[in-house]
């Protein structure tokens, strides 16, 4: 069965069966609902029958009670004429034959008189009593009547019952008084357990289910005859549950039969249709696919052309087989080309399986000094120099185990007949003929290794030369520093002498000298002062590359304001408009940057001297997380940008000394400080329109070497 369902025809038939399952579910669900409906209907009919039976019994009892009440009103029943009472009661028995006896009892229950001698009746009877009261309202006699159970039975037979229903009249103790149709004798136990009968008496009316004496599950509806303490009998109607399900069972069997017929017809039609339309084309597809799997790419399905999906699938399969046939031819051609490429490659190519060569190309055999036939099938380590065997063994094992996919390393290869070849190999894990393998390349790098060794030797010599040159440069710097100090000291002394003698000459011979001679002396004094300033600037410039930097947070806003105060004497009497924006805090050497701001702002003050008003602006043009760009802009005389390359050189000036004083070193110092802080400086200017100096600084200082 399992193998049949695994086949396509079994699966197709299963597709026919599956849609039938919802129909079966609906049939059984409808049967379940019909059963519930039938049970509810039977329950309702049983309750109605019990109520009708109880109503009939109550009507009969009410008639007896009214008869006794009428007799009780007669005065003669209060005397002692027992013969008359007996005759009267006998007439009542002849008039109402369903009575078994009639008579009077005293207050203690003793028989005073009766129509028949008082004894226990052979047949079951139902007794009714009616009290006779004296003038004080006390009971002094009781009028009684004994009713045959058959009378009760005839009364209940008039009740219309559902099919197979049984109506039973029970007394207070659960004994049968009457039953229709008669299933048991009067006086027998009904079959209820004491607890069940007690529950029925407590509830008064209702329903219960239990298995009857005939072993059939029944639904019982019960109702009391009378109310309260006057209840003496109970009406019980029992109906078999299967009666409620009879109609539902009949409909269920009919529906199951119809579904079975439809199922068989559907299976037959589906099998026939599937065989003609699906199975035969699929079998053709399977047959063709098996032939193609076996290597016969000429196999075709051969289904006739049509609009059906399987016909289209067969046509597509044939097209695929044709494409595969063409691709195989192309692959064979590509493989031939690849083989030629590998065979003619200038790089050694190999395939390793296990620990042996499965393939080597001619170039690898040439590098090793063997033929390809001599190397294939031989252990790889036989061709490896002893110092590289361990490394090669580990790399091969790791790739074969799958713990490492590829390897790239250098090794020493043993050539045939002696000699070592330095090689660079690269190999990756793959599959070759369905088994794990390593495919890779081998490059002869013997010449490169020799060249690298020579380069290492030359680099070592170069490093030694650099060390020697560095030592020489440090010595030269020390000599230069000593020379700078000597020059500063030795040059200042003559300048002081010249300046002193000029002053003495002015004091001693001044009145006798003409104006031209005095002018010569002034020129000489100014020249000595300029020479002294030049010496100071040169010393400051030389110290700038040797002085250590103290890193700290610099408040440029305060620094610029202090510089402006220092330049107040230079701007006294001039109309200078200062504009200053917010300047960020930067890390750097505070003393050095005070010199930067002094040089830049003093230049701006100096070169705006011809302007009224002079405008000088200081600000931050751009600020990022890593860098800030500052500027100093003025509306001074400016300069021609074609000479900008001279601006930051030592002793380079773009204006004549008689126009603007200076030594030509200030901007060189500015550039040196900014470069040492890892920044840069540039300028944008126009002749007679002013100049703007820009410089950038990193937020976190990274000093640049000189």
pLDDT tens by residue, 247-304:
777 787 888 888 788 877 877 777 777 666 666 677 777 777 888 788 787 777 777 7
In this predicted model, what pLDDT tens digit does every residue of 314-341 receive, in sequence order? 777 777 877 887 888 888 788 788 788 8
| Predicted local distance difference test score (pLDDT) of residue 308 | 67
- Is the pLDDT at 186 greater than 60, yes or no? no
- Give dist(CA 312, CA 464) in Å, integer: 82
pLDDT for residue 216:
75
The Cα angle at residue 354 between residues 350 and 360, in degrees rounded to 5: 15
pLDDT, tens only, 598-634: 889 988 888 898 888 999 999 998 878 778 999 999 9
The average pLDDT across 376-383 equals 91
Q: What is the mean pLDDT of residues 401-417?
A: 88
CA distance 449 to 421: 10
3-state secondary structure of 219: strand
Tell me what pLDDT residue 91 has.
87
Q: pLDDT per residue over 7-36, tens digit each? A: 555 666 666 667 767 877 787 777 777 777
Residues in the chain: 706
Can you tell me the distance from the alpha carbon of 528 to that of 501, in angstroms, rounded to the nearest whole number? 12
Exposed, middle or buried: residue 284 (CB in 10 Å: 0-12, 13-18, 19+)? middle
Whether the predicted pLDDT of 229 surpasses 60: no
Taking the CB of residue 447, how many other CB atoms lie within 10 A of it? 9
d(C-alpha 394, C-alpha 403), whole Å: 11
Cβ 380 vs Cβ 393: under 8 Å: no
- Going by C-beta distance under 8 Å and a sequence separation of 6 or more, which residues neighbour residue 537? 663, 665, 666, 669
Is residue 487 a contact partner of residue 532, using CB atoms and an 8 Å limit? no
**Which DSSP letter does residue 157 get?**
T
User: Residue 186 half-sphere exposure, CB side, CA atoms within 13 Å?
Assistant: 17
Where residue 705 falls among pLDDT bands split at 50, 70, 90? Answer: very low
pLDDT given for residue 423 in this prediction: 92
Among residues 495, 498, 477, 451, the alpha carbon closest in space to that of 542 is found at 477
Of the listed ranges 81-90, 155-164, 346-355, 391-400, the least confidently predicted one is: 155-164
> Could you tell me the pLDDT band of residue 511, with boundaries at 50, 70 and 90?
confident
Q: Which residues contact 316 (CB under 8 A, 6 or more apart)?
A: none
State the average pLDDT over residues 476-481.
63
Residue 487 CA to residue 504 CA, distance in Å, equals: 26
**How much is the mean pLDDT over the chain?**
79
> What torsion, rounded to 10 degrees, do the Cα atoms 486, 492, 497, 503 define?
180
pTM of structure: 0.36
Direct distance between the N- and C-terminal alpha carbons of the chain, in angstroms, rounded to an integer = 93
3-state secondary structure of 615: strand
Q: What is the pLDDT of residue 379?
A: 93
């Amino acid at each position: 069965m399992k193998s049949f369902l695994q086949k396509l025809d079994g699966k197709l038939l299963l597709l026919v069966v599956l849609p039938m399952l919802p129909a079966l579910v609906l049939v059984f669900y409808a049967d379940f609902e019909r059963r519930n409906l039938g049970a509810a209907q039977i329950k309702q009919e049983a309750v109605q029958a019990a109520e009708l039976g109880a109503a009939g019994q109550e009507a009969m009892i009410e008639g007896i009670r009214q008869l006794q009440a009428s007799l009780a009103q007669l005065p003669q029943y209060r005397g002692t004429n027992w013969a008359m009472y007996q005759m009267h009661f006998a007439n009542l028995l002849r008039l109402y034959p369903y009575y078994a006896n009639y008579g009077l009892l005293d207050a203690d229950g003793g028989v005073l008189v009766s129509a028949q001698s008082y004894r226990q009746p052979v047949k079951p009877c139902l007794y009714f009593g009616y009290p006779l009261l004296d003038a004080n309202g006390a009971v002094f006699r009781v009028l009684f009547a004994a009713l045959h159970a058959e009378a009760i039975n005839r009364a209940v037979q008039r009740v219309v019952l559902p099919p197979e229903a049984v109506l039973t009249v029970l007394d207070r103790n659960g004994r049968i008084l009457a039953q229709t149709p008669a299933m048991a004798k009067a006086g027998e136990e009904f079959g209820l357990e004491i607890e069940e009968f007690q529950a029925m008496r407590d509830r008064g009316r209702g329903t219960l289910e239990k298995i009857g004496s005939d072993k059939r599950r029944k639904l019982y509806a019960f109702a009391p005859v009378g109310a309260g303490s006057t209840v003496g009998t109970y009406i019980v109607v029992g109906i078999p549950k299967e009666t409620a399900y009879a109609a539902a069972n009949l409909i269920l069997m009919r529906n199951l039969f119809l579904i079975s017929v439809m199922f068989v017809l559907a299976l037959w039609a589906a099998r026939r249709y599937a065989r003609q339309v699906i199975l035969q084309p699929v079998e053709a597809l399977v047959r063709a696919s098996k032939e193609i799997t076996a290597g016969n790419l000429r196999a075709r399905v051969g289904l006739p052309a049509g609009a059906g999906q399987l016909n289209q699938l067969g046509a597509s399969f044939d097209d695929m087989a044709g494409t595969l046939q063409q691709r195989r031819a192309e692959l064979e051609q590509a493989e031939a080309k690849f083989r030629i490429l590998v065979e003619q490659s200038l790089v050694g190519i190999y395939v390793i399986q296990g620990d042996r060569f499965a393939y080597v190309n001619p170039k690898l055999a040439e590098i090793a000094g063997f033929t390809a036939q001599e190397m294939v099938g031989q252990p790889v380590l036989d061709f490896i120099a002893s110092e590289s065997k361990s490394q090669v063994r580990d790399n091969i094992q790791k790739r074969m185990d799958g713990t490492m996919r590829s390897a790239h390393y250098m090794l020493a290869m043993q050539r045939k007949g002696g000699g070592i070849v330095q090689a660079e190999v690269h190999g990756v894990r793959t599959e070759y003929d369905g088994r794990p393998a390593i495919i890779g390349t081998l490059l002869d790098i013997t010449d490169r290794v020799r060249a690298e060794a020579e380069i290492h030797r030359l680099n070592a010599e170069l490093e030694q030369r650099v060390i020697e040159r560095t030592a020489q440069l440090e010595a030269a710097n020390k000599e230069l520093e000593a020379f700078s100090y000597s020059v500063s000291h030795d040059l200042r002394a003559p300048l002081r002498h010249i300046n002193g003698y000029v002053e003495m000459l002015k004091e001693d011979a001044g009145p006798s000298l003409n104006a031209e001679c005095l002018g010569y002396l002034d020129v000489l004094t100014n020249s000595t002062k300029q020479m002294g300033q030049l010496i100071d600037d040169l010393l400051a410039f030389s110290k700038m590359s040797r002085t250590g930097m103290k890193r700290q947070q610099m408040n440029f806003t305060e620094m610029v304001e202090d510089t402006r105060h220092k330049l107040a004497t230079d701007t006294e009497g001039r109309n200078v408009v200062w504009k200053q924006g917010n300047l960020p805090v930067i890390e750097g050497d505070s003393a050095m940057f005070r010199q930067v701001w002094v040089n830049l702002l003093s230049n701006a003050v100096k070169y705006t001297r011809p302007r009224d008003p002079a405008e000088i602006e200081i600000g931050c043009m751009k600020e990022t997380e890593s860098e800030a760009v500052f500027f100093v802009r003025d509306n001074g005389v400016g300069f021609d940008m074609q000479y900008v390359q001279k601006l930051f050189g030592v002793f380079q000036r773009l204006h004549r000394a008689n126009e603007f004083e200076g030594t030509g070193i200030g901007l060189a110092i500015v550039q040196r400080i900014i470069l040492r802080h890892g920044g840069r400086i540039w300028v944008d200017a126009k002749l007679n329109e002013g100049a703007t100096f820009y410089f950038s600084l990193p937020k976190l200082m990274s000093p640049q070497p000189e």
